[in-house]
Amino acid sequence: QPAFATSDAEAFAEAAASLENTAAATHTELLAGYESVNARKLTASIIVVEARMATVLTDLGGFASSLDDVFEPDADALELGTGATS
């Protein structure tokens, strides 16, 4: 059963915050590799939204015992391959 298929708000917030933090970490890591200024601007705007959502979800789930929990989440960037295969 997927982590999001729950009526428990705390469990949903935990899964969603983890997803948002991982996405923000992944996009942050990819940012330096872009050559296009427009790609960097777009990705930076996405990172901000992901970080904001993670902050709200962390608060909703009651996981923030300190500001470090919000501003320094324990999330690793995904390792992306060279492309999709079929």
Give per-10-residue mean pLDDT for the chain (86 aa).
74 90 93 92 96 90 76 81 52
What does the pLDDT read at residue 82? Answer: 57
Residues 6+ apart with CB under 8 A from 39: none
What does the pLDDT read at residue 25? Answer: 93
Helix (H/G/I), strand (E/B), else coil: 63? coil
Q: Nearest-5° angle of CA 37, CA 21, CA 12?
A: 135
> How many CA atoms lie within 13 Å of 51's alpha carbon, on the beta-carbon side?
16
What's the pTM?
0.79
What does the pLDDT read at residue 80? Answer: 76
What does the pLDDT read at residue 32? Answer: 87
What does the pLDDT read at residue 86? Answer: 41
Burial (0-12, 13-18, 19+ Cβ within 10 Å), 31: middle
